[in-house]
Amino acid sequence: MDEIQARIQELREELIELRRDFHAHPELGFEEFRTAEVIEQYLQDLGLSTKRMAKTGVAALLEGGRPGPVLMLRADMDALPISEETDVEYRSAKPGVMHACGHDAHMAMLLIAAKILVEKKQDLAGSIKFLFQPNEENAGALPMIEQGVLENPKVDGAMGLHIWTPLESGKVAVSAGPVMAGLDVFKITILGRGGHTGYPHQAVDPVIAAAGLIQAVQTIQTREIDQSQPTIIMFGKIQGGAKSNIIPDSVELEGTIRYLYPGGPDSEEQPAERFKRIARGVCETHRCSCDIRIEQENIPLVNEAGMAQLARQTALDVLGSETAVTSLQSIAGEDFSEFCARIPAVFCFLGSGNAAKGTTAAHHNPGFAIDEDVLPTGVALLVRGAFKFFMDWKSV
């Protein structure tokens, strides 16, 4: 066993303790005040000075023994508005709030990685920016970017990872190109004219327009966009009407469009533009008018080829097996995409699904649990990834 591996093993208990402490004290996005204080204290104890950004975000810079590029390592901090339904002894102490996505583990792994990298700083040919980012579940990366996290010093590359229960424990997934989805959130109000359900010809029925619209927009996916470009259009909310025998004046629809390609107005596929065209057409067919609002909540996360190669090689070194390193695409969103859009960056998935240990529940499920035995692997990916980044940079 080499020196880094041995040190990770020595710190294993501390790693799990940190994760359990974060797990027991979850905080929602931009409310991670206790979490930020724990992180600041830990980093300051390592001799790093910390900077508070975007309300509850924390950044710290480690300067290596020799000059070189700047690598950013990022962990997210927020929990979810979910009531935990596990019976672990360190379960959430806060009713209705739970770390059900694994961000507790992300923070613990990055803190332990920071400790090891500080101990080894004389061997580092460059600097590391440790970034603890708030509010991942609803866009916390952008405020940190706007407040200059990628500048002073300028960041040359970034790496992030996510615990992933759909992927088996002992595996890591990393690949170039799009790996997590773009997400547009829409809200439509269909306006008709209310009336008596016995006299529909005297009214304009927004309910039948809503029914037609929900069906019609599905043809975007099946008839308009290449099947190799994954697209999902879902309605999560329908609201309208007061009583069984009254035609309502209006119906409201809300939902999401997810896609694994650029998606915006400049892309060939343009799912949002197609959506508006069909929705308006259906409403007009049914004599209704409509108000359509679509907001892009996440851009797709696209891994840069060079960084993906670096992470893949690191994973091969850490796991020591070709079959343990795989690739996956998720149709969930992730705001690490904002970093990927600006600098060479890579986002990896750390498998944590183990049926025997009961850690296969989906992310965002009240029964979500992680296999803590994979956490040392995450630390190794971050530490070795950093060394490899500086080493490869020199040879470029």
Kind and range of the H or E run holding 253: strand 250-259
- Candidates 63-71, 93-101, 181-189, 349-357 — which segment interacts with Zn ion by CB under 5 A? 93-101
Name the nearest CA neighbour of 76 among 118, 119, 42, 109.
109
Q: How far is the CB of 129 from Zn ion (least distance, A)?
A: 20
- Candidates 100-108, 117-125, 179-187, 276-284 — which segment interacts with Zn ion by CB under 5 A? 100-108
Say if CB 221 and CB 162 are below 8 A apart.
no
Q: How far is the CB of 57 from Zn ion (least distance, A)?
A: 16
Give the orientation angle of helix 271-285 with respect to helix 206-216, to 10 degrees: 150
Pick the closer one to Zn ion by CB: 130 or 347. 347
Pick the closer one to Zn ion by CB: 39 or 75. 75
HSE-CB of 211 using CA atoms within 13 angstroms: 5
- Candidates 96-104, 178-186, 266-274, 345-353 — which segment interacts with Zn ion by CB under 5 A? 96-104
How far apart CA 312 and CA 309 sit, in angstroms, is 5
Q: How far is the CB of 171 from Zn ion (least distance, A)?
A: 18
Across-strand partners of 253? 188, 238
- Candidates 39-47, 81-89, 101-109, 341-349 — which segment interacts with Zn ion by CB under 5 A? 101-109
Give alpha helix (H) positions in 140-259: 141-146, 206-216, 218-219
Q: How far is the CB of 344 from Zn ion (least distance, A)?
A: 22
Across-strand partners of 98? 80
Say if CB 384 and CB 159 are below 8 A apart.
no
> Does 370 participate in binding Zn ion (rule CB under 5 A)?
no
Q: How far is the CB of 163 from Zn ion (least distance, A)?
A: 8
Residue nearest to Zn ion (CB): 101
Pick the closer one to Zn ion by CB: 42 or 164. 164
Q: Which residues contact 54 (CB under 8 A, 6 or more apart)?
A: 30, 133, 134, 135, 140, 143, 144, 147
* DSSP SS3 for 221: helix
215: exposed, middle or buried (Cβ count in 10 Å: 0-12, 13-18, 19+)? exposed
Pick the closer one to Zn ion by CB: 104 or 205. 104
How far apart CA 213 and CA 225 sit, in angstroms, is 18
x-marked contacts with Zn ion along 318-357 as a string, rule CB under 5 A: ----------------------------------------
Residue 215 region by backbone torsions, left for phi larger than 0, else alpha for psi between -120 and 50, else beta: alpha
- Candidates 97-105, 311-319, 349-357, 365-373 — which segment interacts with Zn ion by CB under 5 A? 97-105
- Candidates 31-39, 63-71, 95-103, 253-261 — which segment interacts with Zn ion by CB under 5 A? 95-103
x-marked contacts with Zn ion along 157-196 as a string, rule CB under 5 A: ----------------------------------------
Pick the closer one to Zn ion by CB: 127 or 133. 133
> Does 375 participate in binding Zn ion (rule CB under 5 A)?
no
Pick the closer one to Zn ion by CB: 250 or 330. 330
Give alpha helix (H) positions in the chain: 3-10, 12-24, 33-45, 103-119, 141-146, 206-216, 218-219, 271-285, 305-319, 337-340, 375-395
Pick the closer one to Zn ion by CB: 180 or 225. 180
As a three-state string, the secondary structure of 312-329 is: HHHHHHHHCCHHHEECCC
Pick the closer one to Zn ion by CB: 5 or 365. 365
Q: What secondary structure letter does DSSP report for 196?
A: E
Pick the closer one to Zn ion by CB: 62 or 167. 167
> Does 101 participate in binding Zn ion (rule CB under 5 A)?
yes
- Candidates 31-39, 94-102, 268-276, 376-384 — which segment interacts with Zn ion by CB under 5 A? 94-102
Pick the closer one to Zn ion by CB: 68 or 140. 140
Q: Enumerate binding residues for Zn ion (CB under 5 A).
A: 101
